[in-house]
Amino acid sequence: MKPNEVITFPNKPEDRLRVALRELEQALSDQALAVQEFRLNMAVLGTTVGGLERSLEGYRGTLEAVALDVAEARHICAETMYRAETMVQ
């Protein structure tokens, strides 16, 4: 359709109704496809979020292990410093 093209409007009410129903059917079909695509995208999003959640759980576990290692190293360091101070005195 060109920008300046005039669209003829159906004269008879039956013709207008037929055109309106055709356009409604097309709109409903387009909507059904959009809803189907939305549902597929939501499923993909759910899978992605699930993977992210598992990844974060693994990361949290690694951080907890590192925190325990750091606490142990801090304790050993404090113990070593205390022994060194008692040897110097």
Question: What is the reported pLDDT for 89?
Answer: 75
Structural domain includes residue 1: no
Structural domain includes residue 68: yes
pTM for this structure? 0.57
Question: What is the reported pLDDT for 21?
Answer: 96
Structural domain includes residue 49: yes
Q: What value does the mean pLDDT of the chain take?
A: 93
3-state secondary structure of 41: helix
Structural domain includes residue 25: no
Q: Cα–Cα–Cα angle for 48, 53, 54, nearest 5°?
A: 100
| pLDDT exceeds 80 at position 70 | yes
* Domains identified in the chain, total number: 1
CA pair distance 61, 39, nearest whole angstrom: 33
Structural domain includes residue 16: no
Domain range for 77: 30-89
Structural domain includes residue 9: no
Structural domain includes residue 3: no
